[in-house]
Amino acid sequence: MKRSLTVGLLVALFQAACSSGVAGARQDSTPVHTREAARAEQSANRGADRLRKGKGEREDTVLRAMQDELLRSRRLQLPEHKPPYFVSYLLRDSDLYSVSASFGAITNCDRQHDRTLSNDVRVGDYDLDNSDQLFANRGDEVPLEDNYDAIRNQLWLRTDANYKAAVQIFERIQSILKQRQIVDRPPSFSRATVITSEAPIPSLTYQKERWDGTVRHLSALFRDYPAILTSQVTFSCRRRGRWLANTEGSRTRDGETGATLLITAEAETKDGARVSDFDLASATQPGGLPSDEELVARTKKLADRVTALANATAAEEYTGPVLFEGQAAADLFGEALVPRLLNPTVSIMQLAAGVENTQNKPGKRILPAYLSVIDDPLATTFAGHALKGAYKIDDEGVPAQRVELIKEGVIQTFCSGRRPGRFVAASNGHLREGTPKVSQLFITTTKATPFAQLKEKLIEIGKDQGLKYVFIVRHLNNQTMYTSMPIDFGSFLPQRSDINLTPPTLLYKVSVEDGHEDLVRSARFANVSDKILRSIQAVGDDSNVFSLVQAGALPQTSSLVTPSVLISEMDIEKQEGAREAPMYLKNPYAAKSLSVAPPASIGNGSGAAPIW
């Protein structure tokens, strides 16, 4: 189960390493008329005019089909109901090649080309419409080819079905509002500038033989590590294209490419627990991935790491300071901070039930005063390192904007889409894959501690607290985020203050006496709440670019630039997981002769049979 998800959802990582191919998006300031229909028609026509090309150049077939169905959609009307005031189409094209290997042989090889269509149909007006309902606007299968008639036919059927659904939902919302007194309800939808741009959609180019060979070769390296039970190497590359049009007149076409290489390994400890870790490389093109030599080295390093983990001692209960270095710091912010940076919205259902949570609001301090946070989708490099996750236009056709989210520890604003929240009414171009997301996050500080001194500080705090040892985390096993189910309940459930922080894979027990480090396994963080961000004691001067994985309709990787972080107090516990008796027989590759294991007791598979 796990493996197939890993492979399948890797697909989604491409957002990650994707260079946005939008060529110079132009923006218009749209006049605000009171009559939506007139306005929509005007801008729709203008959008079309702009896309009409000079001699020889042909209009984009998909955009033309969208344009023509958008115009027709104004005639959609059920008796005694209004026609839609807003319709939009988002068509995505995804062309993917993915190959996985284990133990030197290919286990999965997949070329997949598909297109999905999202269609937003709104009745009512910007102040109150049908969009309150919580349902994922999942795309249907649509024609794979730029066939005008076939695409129009699909657009027509989808728009018709969605209009009928929209009318029904709008009726329900209006009846709720008649029954319940709801004051200061945020509007349903915000206006946005009209944008037109047309960038080429790149094609997918990769050398199949080469990458098939690479994953075979890398995965075969694990044959020399008998402690590792399962391992997998997956190469994927993807081309994505996007077409977007709405009745306000926005039209865009763009595309991106990405490539990743994911290596995972799992071993069994003497007491039957499982330990695992992974390594991920990503780039905008397959050619941008590390060289074979580097990949071999990284694979061996992972194998060594997991083998070491299998032989490490299990964690014990601990309360005290913890230093999050490098990638671990990025993961910590990814899980503890990112959810608080997204525009909190409230539905009418929630307002009616009185479950709105306004804990997260501008003006609230959530970090120490020497830390600020910026999200910048437009940045392309940091200190000479390429960033992943840049884009120019979001999935609602809104130009991406740099936003200062936290200034001197205090919330300023949120990453937003066009759905207004109580505090942020307009979009700043952060809606992607259905919900607002961070793009490229920069944690900056005015008080950096030299990296080398962080460990000293850690030990110092430990001494003050009378501890014999303290902890450093270098990697969290947030691979689960790659494989987690893409269901976003975030906006549905009341916000909770406890954080389910991913367990660490590389956790080191540091002696306060002499500073020497021992790897510890099977640990998890306990009792983590949003207070953890305020327990930051110091940050390093080692800011670097790390990958950030966000779950969502499609999980995405992007970049997070952060220094290492020292937390003054955290709880660590031993992670209790399912146990199995050790393998009865040796790995056939390693086994020189037959060996027979002594019997375990019946009906108790977790009996501790000895290793041989």
Partner 1 sequence: MPTNLRGRTLFSLLVSLLVACSRPACAADTATSLQSPVLNALNEELTRSFTAMKNRHAEAPLYYLGYRLYDLRTRTLTASYGSLTQDTEKRNRFLSVDVRVGSPKLDNTHGSTGLFRLGRLYSGRSSTAAVPLDDDEAALRNVVWLNTDAALKAAEREYGQVKASKDIRVDEEDQSDDFAAAKPVDCINRINTAQPLDAELWKERLRRLSEIYKKYPDIQKSSVELVQETTTRYLINSEGTRIQDEVHQVRFTTKASSTMNDGMELNLYDLSHAFAADELPDEAALGQSIEAVAQDLMKLRKANVADPYAGPAILRGKAAAVFFHEILGHRVEGHRQKDEREGKTFTRKVNEQIMPEFISVFDDPTLKKIGQADLAGHYEIDDEGVPAQRVTVVENGVLRGFLMSRSPINKFTASNGHGRCSPGANPVARQGNLIVQSSKRVPYEKLREMLIEEARKQGKPYGLVFDEIAGGFAVTQTMFTQAFKLMPLKVTRVWADGRPDELIRGVNLVGTPIVSLETIISAGDDYATFNGICGAESGWVPVSASAPSLLVRTVEVARNDKSQTKPPLLPAPLYDKPTSKMGKGGEHK
Site for partner 1 in 100-119 (CB under 8 A): 100-114
Residue 74: Cβ within 10 Å count: 16
Q: Is 566 in contact with 537 (CB distance < 8 Å)?
A: yes
User: 38 or 161, CB closer to partner 1?
Assistant: 161
Please state, in angstroms and rounded to a whole number, the distance separating the CA atoms of residues 124 and 473: 52
Residue range at the interface with partner 1 (CB under 8 A); choices 95-103, 189-197, 307-315, 475-483: 95-103
Residue 449 CB, shortest distance to partner 1, in Å, is 40
Q: Which two tokens stand for residue 603?
A: 């009906």
Which residues between 244 and 273 bind partner 1 (CB under 8 A)? 266
Q: Which two tokens stand for residue 185?
A: 């309800």
Residue 74 CB, shortest distance to partner 1, in Å, is 9
Residue 129 CB, shortest distance to partner 1, in Å, is 19
Residue 171 CB, shortest distance to partner 1, in Å, is 14
For residue 545, which of 528, 560, 530 has the smallest C-alpha distance? 560
For residue 611, state whether it binds partner 1 (rule: CB under 8 A).
Answer: no
Report the Cα 137 to chain-centroid distance in Å. 18
For residue 217, state whether it binds partner 1 (rule: CB under 8 A).
Answer: no
Residue 611 CB, shortest distance to partner 1, in Å, is 14
User: 71 or 448, CB closer to partner 1?
Assistant: 71
User: 39 or 474, CB closer to partner 1?
Assistant: 39
User: 143 or 417, CB closer to partner 1?
Assistant: 143
In DSSP terms, which residues pair with 257 in a beta bridge?
A: 239
User: 203 or 595, CB closer to partner 1?
Assistant: 595
Report the Cα 327 to chain-centroid distance in Å. 16
At 249, the amino acid letter reads G
Which residues between 500 and 529 bind partner 1 (CB under 8 A)? none
Which residues between 560 and 589 bind partner 1 (CB under 8 A)? 578, 580-581, 583-585, 587-589
CB burial of residue 189 (10 Å; 0-12, 13-18, 19+):
buried
For residue 77, state whether it binds partner 1 (rule: CB under 8 A).
Answer: yes
User: 381 or 606, CB closer to partner 1?
Assistant: 606
- φ, ψ dihedrals at 571, nearest 5°: -105, 135
User: End-to-end CA distance of the chain, in Å?
Assistant: 29
Residue 289 CB, shortest distance to partner 1, in Å, is 22
For residue 222, which of 161, 182, 276 has the smallest C-alpha distance? 276
DSSP code of residue 370: T
Residue 272 CB, shortest distance to partner 1, in Å, is 11
Residue 294 CB, shortest distance to partner 1, in Å, is 24
Q: Is 554 in contact with 435 (CB distance < 8 Å)?
A: no
User: 110 or 456, CB closer to partner 1?
Assistant: 110
Q: Is 252 in contact with 198 (CB distance < 8 Å)?
A: yes
Residue 141 CB, shortest distance to partner 1, in Å, is 5
Residue 160 CB, shortest distance to partner 1, in Å, is 4
User: 158 or 437, CB closer to partner 1?
Assistant: 158
Residues 134, 144, 452, 611: which binds partner 1 (CB under 8 A)? 144
User: 142 or 406, CB closer to partner 1?
Assistant: 142
Which residues between 340 and 399 bind partner 1 (CB under 8 A)? none
Q: What is each CA distance from 593 to 457, 587, 596, 600, in whole angstroms?
A: 53, 11, 10, 21
Which residues between 274 and 303 bind partner 1 (CB under 8 A)? 274
User: 226 or 490, CB closer to partner 1?
Assistant: 226
Q: Which two tokens stand for residue 180?
A: 């319940």
Please state, in angstroms and rounded to a whole number, the distance separating the CA atoms of residues 331 and 325: 10
Binding letters toward partner 1, positions 29-68, x by CB under 8 A: ---------------xx--x------------------xx
Residue 10 CB, shortest distance to partner 1, in Å, is 14
Residues 153, 285, 413, 544: which binds partner 1 (CB under 8 A)? 153
Which residues between 158 and 187 bind partner 1 (CB under 8 A)? 160-161, 163-164
Q: Give CA torsion, residues 174, 179, 180, 184, to 10 deg.
A: 40
For residue 82, state whether it binds partner 1 (rule: CB under 8 A).
Answer: no
Residue indicated by tokens 């109901």: 81
Residue range at the interface with partner 1 (CB under 8 A); choices 223-231, 246-254, 359-367, 439-447: 223-231
Question: Number of residues in contact with partner 1, rule: CB under 8 A?
Answer: 78
In DSSP terms, which residues pair with 275 in a beta bridge?
A: 267
Please state, in angstroms and rounded to a whole number, the distance separating the CA atoms of residues 110 and 222: 23
In DSSP terms, which residues pair with 140 in a beta bridge?
A: 117
Which residues between 122 and 141 bind partner 1 (CB under 8 A)? 141
Residue 12 CB, shortest distance to partner 1, in Å, is 18
Residue 233 CB, shortest distance to partner 1, in Å, is 12
Residues 57, 80, 149, 209: which binds partner 1 (CB under 8 A)? 149
Q: What string of DSSP letters covers 294-356?
A: HHHHHHHHHHHHHHHHHHSEEP--EEEEEEE-THHHHHHHHHHTGGGGB-----HHHHHHT--
Residue indicated by tokens 């390994």: 265
In DSSP terms, which residues pair with 444 in a beta bridge?
A: 372
Q: Which residues of 561-573 are buried (b: 16+ CB within 10 A; e: fewer)?
A: bbbbbbbbebebb
